Structure 1
Amino acid sequence: MAPRDATALALDPENALREEAQALNAQYGELDTPKLLETALHRLYPGKIALVSSFGAESAVLLHLLSEVDASAPVLFVDTRKLFGETLRYRETLVARFGLTGVRTITPDDDELAEADPQGALWLKDPDRCCHLRKVLPLDRALNGFDAWMTGRKRFQSSTRSKLELFEVAEGRIKINPLANWSVEDLKDYAARLDLPPHPLVAQGFPSIGCMPCTDKVAPGEDARAGRWRGADKVECGIHLPTHGREIDGSGI
């Protein structure tokens, strides 16, 4: 079971979770990734943890590692209904290749879309609200019943992720970043050694892949996430910001 103090959680839940994350980093921060996954899935949060995956450019490595530990573990995939067709087909490829049986596809609420984005063009005038409607709120609902969740974020991806901890706190849950300290070379070496299929858009100049209207190709020398919401003062979809699920914030998996 997770090292939770019921009294501390009741009195000051956010502080208790922060202390829990600190303790987890101290105790498990040196584990290699497979052992970290096994510990999180089977010892700390059995039946109460999910991996959130975009099935994007770098997703195959973590999904394969997860499948080696527990192919039935819950995997939450948010289909915003604005994704590239290549991403949807890539999801099916990886599910079949790795034998993943716990993948759940999450979609926006039809009534909320009808009210807030009836023409499907909200991304043009208010990308923050579009992300909130199509990604943040669906994931927030899907995480009900889970005590913790895992992401594929890495420190090298951007300045906003440069100090990622393996264990952190988000919205009343522990959030785990098993690949936080992996480098680009680590990912490439693992994928090559296991012959993991790449996302088909990577070879076309998309090193970071989100929704089709808000993802651009990246020029040589640019930051890998430079093509996300190009021209906008926006670097995250909202899922990984502190206000996740509470307000329109404009923050990716």
Structure 2
Amino acid sequence: MPAPLDPSSAREATPPLTAVAQDYLKVVWSATEWADVPVTTKMLAARLGVGASTVSEQVRRLADAGLLTHEPYGAVGLTDEGRTHALAMVRRHRLVETFLVEVLGYGWDEVHDEAEVLEHAVSDVFVERVAGLLGHPVRDPHGDPIPGPDGSLQVPDATEMWAVAPGAWRIARISDADPDLLRWLEEVGLVLDAEVTVVERREAVGTVAVRLGDRPVDLGEVAARAIWLTSAG
């Protein structure tokens, strides 16, 4: 009579995810982290810089593997297993970014592309050693929450600057999508935890007037939508 199968050995025999698969899962999760929008193959193609046919094929493979859900011409989503893998990669990416800024002295505008490479090269042991060295941070240099090893998240109750009412606010998160914008915001003092007063949103001309201390700053809509605020109270 054959010996019963050891479940742990079956898990070990499962091939690890490729870097491409990890990127797809991470991008699907990240696309809806701060916006309630459907994730389409067109969106994935734009974010990953590949052709639509390539995305369709990879999405099909990940769906067949039980990591993504996708109906023809519908939105792409994560299964429970896919979400677990996605959050593990997000954790790696954001811990590496934090390490590069706090330990190696990188600017917050420089770290995204470096982390995109390093997140696939380091081991789980390295990631957890970095987390311990940094004191187990819960957010990265841009204010994005760092998932815990169990996938838990501490997400701030934040709103886009473009959408908030006039009043006193604190910067909780700034999108890292545009390095040039990050450099400019740092130059004018609009950085994490800075307290700002939103004075007026001028929809007709697409600007928001804010005060940083006694200094007025005007932001365009693109910049205002990249900054997320929490109550200063």
- For the aligned pair, the TM-score class normalised by the smaller chain equals under 0.3
TM-score (norm 1): 0.23
- Bigger radius of gyration among the two: 2
Greater RCO, CA 8 A, separation 6+ = 1
